[in-house]
């Protein structure tokens, strides 16, 4: 057994032991001599016998060693015994705390408030728990255990031998021992047995109750004669007019505090006080019972409003630590520990050395703490009280069931496609009345869930979707795909500030264009979806300023983000405020609680974080649902392909004209096959040029959304170069593998990517890096360009989808309208579908990506598609044009050969 007691502490404890024995002997002697204890208080001039004298005089051989052992056991509760479990910890802490208090006392002989008493209290509590928790055969602590048990059994035995005297000695332990308490008949109990009073008695007996009485002390004061109970001490200490007389060990109070003291005591289930003579008929205010706990949320909010800081020596705060419990983060103070021990739901965490309680005890604890002048306990914040309202009334350990919503009004195509966890997300959203932050991990299908939630509130449309500009058309496609009941003409993608802003049922706008939208129009949208809502994280940005009023006026607000806060909690504020504007009155309130806000010479610093567990609990309870890929992996396909429709915006007029001309020419037909293919390649090359800007925008959006590791495949050097330059400009780490990379370098680059902890993008050539590389530390592949050979694409996808991959893999194909992609994409889909049917490709596009029907409304387009098919699929087999030649032709374009003449080239090669 290891005990870390100093010699000084041991000496003081021994002194204390002697003193306790002396007091006990004195009491017994008084009782033996028939001295009226009421008068005994004034006749204490007689020197008290020492403990040893007591041992001789009292002639209680069986009890004396017990008393001695009691103190010894008290002293030697092992501070580090883990076997005793959580309750032992209570003892341990009490012990340590008591020692601290004890040592701090200038005069150990004077039992200052909480000084010796604290030792007794804590150790006694610890003893009871030790008795329950220590293993019977514990070799290290068995002596204490038995000593402790000895105390109890011997006390009882002594009680039996001594009759009333011994039981009273025990009952008055720590309170009014030498005072005017009537040490005569034992207090009758409802169960007919004797009251032992002290917590040193077996728990069963202690629970049976304590009875005492109020006695007039002087004209204006009264005292309370009652056995020791920690809860009572805490109440006494909260009474303003209290005084404690260390000599008599009596508490007395002003008569003006009589009603409040009595009403407090009434709340203790096991304590009864006989009223003060002549005061039997006065009204005692009834306070909520301590047993039932429970608090009405309005009472708590009123309490919060009235709460003020005080000039206390010890300050702490309440913090939510789970759905059912709050913790009081505070230093040691005997009064607050006494208060904690009154709480039936108290729990002491030995690691954190903090006390926690059920939320239903919150009001009781806070009210009592207000009465402790030396202690300030900051309440839980308003949003927590509001969000967990029912938990304060009656704490439940289970989460409330979110009801299954009737989605019969929503397109069955969508509803039947929802994965179980997506259905839960929709239920949560409706339960939260359409205002939420859907924070599922990337790629878990936030789009389909958001569309379903919005469709549930279809009667309230027009609907506005605000999204990064790179995915506006993807949204339009998703609506077409999932809500066949919506006419595609009712979907309005706002591309320029001049476009119609409210004419349609569904309106899709980029963050940047939102700032230019007419405010009178935006305030009409009752249902709003914000995709990548962390784009609003900075309150000072134009995006945020234009979105805030819109979100405040909307009835339903669906925020989507896989990374709501990318670096600090401050980034969450605008999103929380968008969903629940009433939660925090202003940012500073949020900042102080969750951003560890500090006043610096230059102003407030909100960049840190604090109380994050509470913040998470608060968000999950009220506005946010978040599932990680790992949570729902069993419901996900191993590979999910997605078509991202991008517009080849911002292409210069020359490229655009060239694209249009190419398409026109192809629609007209060609004289020879070679001409035909030349035209096709030109179209393909122009497409690359046209897509560059959108591709870069998309990659930057991914980075802004928190994607840290992904692959970007492209074919043209022009595209690869531009992507790399942009990453360099933005200081994003990347690797590049193309035809010019040596095999030795390839391996080193792969290792760099695989083991890099930071953001890292792999920029890869479709033809030069589609095989032989393992890049499984990423789970996202972006195809900036399409390629006519789907086998090559699948191989490229499999750089991440391979052994070592533990997640579901997402593949994004960037498809630009009005370019060669219009023809390449369906062709690729078709071919992959065939591979899928042959069991050669894991997932086929038609099932997992959006429909591409929109591409072929014009018969001319069909002609071009047929041309592509002929050239790249059928003729490929006929060796009319070989792939190497195609690639070479592409390279020629990359090297800025303006026109590629395959006929000429062939001649040269030959
Ligand atoms: N229930 C479903 N049935 C079929 N396909 C689905 C389903 N849920 C999601 N998908 C597909 O999974 C892919 C990823 O979905 P989505 O883009 O909505 O994910 P996300 O959570 O928004 O990801 P990110 O955060 O990266 O934008 C898409 O191709 C989508 O069509």
Residue 764 pLDDT > 60 = yes
Q: Is residue 85 scored above 60 in pLDDT?
A: no
Ligand 1 geometric centre to CA of 785 (Å) = 20
CATH 3.40.50.10810 fits 412-633, yes or no: yes
Indicate the average pLDDT of the chain: 71
Looking at ligand 1, which residue's alpha carbon is closest to its atom 8? 445
Give yes or no for residue 226 having a pLDDT over 80.
yes
The whole-angstrom separation of Cα 804 and Cα 776 is 6
pLDDT digits (tens, 9 = 90+) for 3-12: 346 676 666 6
pLDDT attached to residue 657: 79
Bridge partners of 893, per DSSP, are none
| Atom 5, ligand 1: residue with shortest CA distance | 848
Statement: residue 655 has pLDDT above 80: no
Residue having the nearest C-alpha atom to atom 9 of ligand 1: 445
Tell me: pLDDT of 193 over 70.
no
| Nearest CA owner, ligand 1 atom 12 | 445
440 CA: nearest ligand 1 atom: 21
List pocket residues of ligand 1, CB cut-off 6 Å: 417-419, 422, 440, 442-448, 562, 640, 642, 848-849
Which pLDDT value is given to residue 408?
A: 94
In the predicted model, what is the mean pLDDT of residues 704-731? 92
Confidence of residue 575 (pLDDT cuts 50, 70, 90): very high
Determine the average pLDDT of the residues in 66-80: 28
Across 158-167, 249-258, 642-651, 802-811, the highest mean pLDDT is recorded for 249-258
The whole-number average pLDDT for the span 768-783 is: 87
Expressed in angstroms and rounded, the spacing between residue 226 Cα and the centre of ligand 1 is 69
Structural tokens at position 533: 């809502």
Sign of the four-CA dihedral 577, 581, 584, 587: positive
Characterize 753-774 residue by residue with b for buried, 16 or more Cβ atoms within 10 angstroms of its Cβ, and e for exposed: bbeeeebbbbbbbbbbbbeebb
**Total H helices, total E strands in the chain:** 38, 25
Cα of 523 to ligand 1 centre, how many Å? 29
Local structure of 362: helix, strand or coil: helix
3-state SS, residue 725? helix
297-393 belongs to which CATH class?
A: alpha beta
Query: pLDDT at position 218, please?
Result: 87
User: Mean pLDDT across the stretch 877-900?
Assistant: 49
The predicted model gives 479-506 an average pLDDT of 84
Can you tell me the mean pLDDT for 734-744? 88
Residue 52 has pLDDT above 50, yes or no: no
Q: Which atom of ligand 1 is nearest to the CA of 562?
A: 25
pLDDT in tens, 828-872: 877 776 666 555 555 445 444 444 443 444 555 556 566 565 555
Q: Closest residue (by CA) to atom 23 of ligand 1? A: 443
How sure is the predictor about 160, in pLDDT bands with cuts at 50, 70 and 90? very low
Contact 373, 365 (CB under 8 A): no
At 54, list the tokens.
């007591």
CB 442 within 8 A of CB 707: yes
Q: Where is 67: in which H helix or E strand? A: helix 64-75
Report CA(865)–ligand 1 centroid distance (Å).
28
The total number of residues written for the chain in this structure:
910
- Average pLDDT of the residues in 506-531: 85
Q: Could you report the per-residue pLDDT of 255-290, keeping only the tens digit for each?
A: 888 887 887 787 677 788 888 888 887 777 665 544
Q: Domains of the chain: which residue ranges?
A: 7-186, 297-393, 412-633, 641-909
Average pLDDT over residues 82-104: 28
Does 421 have pLDDT greater than 60? yes
* pLDDT tens-place string over residues 454-463: 999 999 999 9
| 213: enclosing H helix or E strand | strand 210-216
pLDDT of residue 36: 41
Once rounded to an integer, what is the mean pLDDT over residues 754-764?
87
* pLDDT band, very low/low/confident/very high, at 291 (cuts 50, 70, 90): very low
Residue 847 CA, closest ligand 1 atom number: 4
Give the best-scoring range by mean pLDDT among 67-71, 381-385, 640-644: 381-385
CATH superfamily, domain at 641-909: P-loop containing nucleotide triphosphate hydrolases (3.40.50.300)
Q: Which residues contact 329 (CB under 8 A, 6 or more apart)?
A: 316, 317, 318, 319, 354
Give percent of the chain with pLDDT exceeding 90: 25
Element (H, E) at 714: strand 709-714
247 pLDDT tier (thresholds 50, 70, 90)? confident
Query: Long-range pairs for 154-157 at CB < 8 Å and ≥24 separation?
Result: 154/62, 154/63, 154/65, 154/66, 155/63, 155/66, 155/196, 155/200, 155/201, 156/196, 156/201, 156/202, 157/62, 157/63
Segment among 371-375, 509-513, 851-855 with least mean pLDDT: 851-855
pLDDT higher at 189 or 335: 335
pLDDT-derived band of residue 504, with 50, 70 and 90 as boundaries? confident
Q: How far is CA 380 from the centre of its chain?
A: 16
User: How far apart are the CA of 127 and the centre of ligand 1, in A?
Assistant: 59
Please indicate whether the domains covering 297-393 and 641-909 agree at the CATH topology level. no
Q: Which two tokens stand for residue 241?
A: 């007019």
Kindly state the average pLDDT of the residues 85-110: 29
Determine the distance separating the centroid of ligand 1 and the alpha carbon of 443, expressed in angstroms: 5
pLDDT, residue 742, reads 84
Tell me whether strands 354-358 and 325-329 are parallel, antiparallel or unpaired: antiparallel
Q: Which pLDDT does position 792 carry in this prediction?
A: 81
Give the tens place of pLDDT for each residue, 576-618: 999 998 888 889 999 999 999 999 999 999 988 899 999 999 9
Name which of 593, 626, 647 is nearest 819 in CA terms: 647
Q: Which of 171-175, 687-691, 894-898 has the lowest mean pLDDT?
A: 171-175
C-beta of residue 157 within 8 angstroms of C-beta of residue 196: no
pLDDT of residue 892: 57
- The DSSP code sequence of 431-495 is HTTTEEEE-PPTTS-HHHHHHHHHHHTGGG--EEEEE-GGGHHHHHHHHHHH-TTS-GGGEEE--
The complex's ipTM works out to: 0.98
Q: Determine the average pLDDT of the residues in 742-751.
A: 84
Sign of CA dihedral 702, 704, 707, 712: positive
Reference 476, options 502, 436, 523, 510; nearest CA is 510
């Amino acid at each position: 057994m290891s005990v870390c007691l100093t010699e000084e502490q041991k000496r003081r404890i021994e002194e204390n032991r002697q003193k306790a024995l002396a007091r006990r002997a004195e009491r017994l002697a008084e009782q033996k001599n028939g001295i009226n204890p009421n008068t005994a208080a004034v006749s204490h001039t007689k020197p008290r016998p020492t403990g040893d004298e007591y041992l001789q005089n009292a002639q209680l051989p069986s009890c004396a060693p017990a008393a001695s052992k009691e103190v010894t056991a008290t002293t030697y509760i092992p501070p580090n015994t883990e076997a005793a479990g959580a309750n032992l910890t209570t003892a341990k802490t009490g012990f340590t705390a008591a020692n601290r208090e004890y040592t701090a006392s200038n005069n150990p002989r004077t039992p200052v408030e909480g000084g010796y008493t604290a030792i007794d209290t804590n150790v006694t509590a610890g003893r009871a728990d030790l008795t329950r928790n220590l293993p019977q055969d514990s070799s290290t602590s068995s002596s204490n255990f038995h000593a402790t048990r000895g105390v109890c059994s011997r006390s009882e035995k002594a009680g039996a031998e001594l009759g009333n005297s011994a039981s009273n000695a025990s009952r008055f332990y720590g309170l009014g021992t030498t005072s005017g308490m009537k040490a005569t008949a034992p207090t009758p109990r409802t169960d007919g047995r004797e009251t032992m009073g002290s917590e040193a008695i077996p728990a069963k007996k202690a629970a049976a109750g304590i009875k005492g009485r109020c006695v007039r002390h002087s004209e204006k004061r009264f005292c309370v004669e009652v056995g020791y109970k920690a809860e009572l001490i805490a109440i006494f200490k909260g009474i303003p007019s209290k005084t404690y007389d260390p000599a008599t060990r009596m508490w007395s109070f002003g008569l003006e505090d009589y009603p409040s003291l009595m009403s407090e005591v009434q709340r203790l289930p096991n304590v009864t006080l006989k009223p003060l003579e002549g005061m039997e008929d006065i009204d005692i205010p009834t306070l909520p019972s301590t047993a039932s706990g429970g608090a009405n949320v309005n009472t708590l909010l009123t309490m919060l409003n009235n709460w003020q800081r005080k000039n206390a020596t010890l300050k702490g705060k309440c913090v939510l630590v789970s759905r059912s419990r709050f913790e009081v983060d505070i230093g040691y103070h005997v009064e607050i520990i006494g208060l904690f021990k009154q709480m039936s739901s108290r729990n002491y965490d030995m690691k954190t050395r903090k006390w926690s309680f059920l939320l239903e005890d919150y009001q009781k604890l806070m009210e009592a703490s207000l009465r402790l002048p030396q202690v300030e306990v900051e309440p839980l914040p308003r949003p927590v009280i509001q969000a967990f309202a029912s938990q304060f009334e009656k704490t439940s350990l289970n989460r409330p069931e979110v009801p299954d919503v009737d989605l019969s009004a929503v397109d069955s195509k969508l509803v039947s496609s929802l994965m179980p966890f997506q259905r839960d997300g929709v239920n949560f959203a409706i339960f939260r009345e359409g205002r939420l932050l859907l924070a599922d991990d990337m790629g878990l299908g936030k789009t389909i869930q958001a569309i379903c939630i919005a469709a549930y509130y279809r009667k309230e449309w027009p609907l506005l979707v605000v999204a990064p500009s790179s995915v506006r058309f993807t949204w339009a496609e998703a609506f077409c795909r999932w809500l066949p009941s919506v006419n595609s003409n009712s979907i309005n993608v706002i591309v320029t500030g001049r476009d119609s802003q409210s004419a349609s049922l569904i309106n899709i706008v980029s963050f940047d264009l939102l700032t230019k939208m007419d405010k009178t129009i935006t305030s009409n949208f009752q249902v709003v979806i914000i995709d990548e809502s962390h784009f609003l994280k900075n309150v000072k940005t134009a995006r945020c300023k234009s979105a805030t009023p819109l979100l405040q006026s909307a009835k339903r607000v669906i925020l989507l983000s896989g990374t709501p806060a990318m670096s600090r909690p401050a980034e969450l504020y605008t999103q929380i405020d968008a969903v629940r504007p009433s939660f925090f009155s202003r940012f500073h309130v949020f900042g102080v609680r969750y951003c560890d806000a500090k006043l610096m010479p230059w102003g407030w610093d909100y960049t840190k974080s604090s109380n994050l567990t509470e913040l998470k609990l608060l968000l999950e309870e009220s506005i946010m649902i978040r599932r990680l890929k790992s949570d729902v992996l069993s419901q996900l396909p191993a590979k999910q392909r997605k078509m991202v429709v991008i517009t080849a915006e911002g292409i210069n007029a020359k490229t655009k004209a060239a694209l249009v001309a190419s398409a026109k020419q192809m629609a007209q037909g060609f004289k020879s096959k070679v001409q035909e293919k030349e035209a096709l390649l030109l179209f393909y090359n122009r497409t690359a040029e046209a897509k560059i800007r959108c591709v870069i925008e998309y990659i930057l959006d991914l980075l802004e959304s928190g994607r840290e590791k992904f692959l970007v495949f492209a074919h043209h050097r022009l595209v690869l170069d531009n992507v790399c330059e942009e990453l360099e400009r933005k200081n994003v780490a990347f690797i590049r593998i193309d035809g010019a990379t040596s095999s030795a370098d390839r391996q080193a680059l792969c290792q760099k990517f695989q083991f890099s902890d930071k953001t890292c993008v792999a920029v890869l050539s479709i033809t030069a890096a589609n095989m032989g590389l393992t890049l499984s530390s990423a789970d996202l592949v972006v195809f900036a360009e399409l390629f006519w050979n789907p086998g090559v694409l699948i191989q490229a996808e499999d750089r991440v989808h391979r052994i070592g991959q533990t997640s579901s893999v997402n593949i994004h194909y960037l498809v630009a309208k009005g370019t060669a992609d219009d023809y390449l994409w369906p062709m690729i889909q078709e071919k992959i579908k065939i591979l899928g049917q042959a069991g050669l490709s894991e997932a086929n596009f038609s099932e997992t990506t959006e429909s591409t029907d929109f591409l072929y409304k014009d018969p001319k387009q069909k002609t071009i598609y047929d041309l592509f098919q002929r050239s790249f699929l059928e003729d490929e087999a006929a060796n009319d044009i070989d792939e190497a030649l195609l690639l070479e032709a592409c390279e020629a374009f990359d090297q800025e050969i303006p026109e590629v003449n395959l006929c000429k080239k062939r001649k040269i090669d030959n």
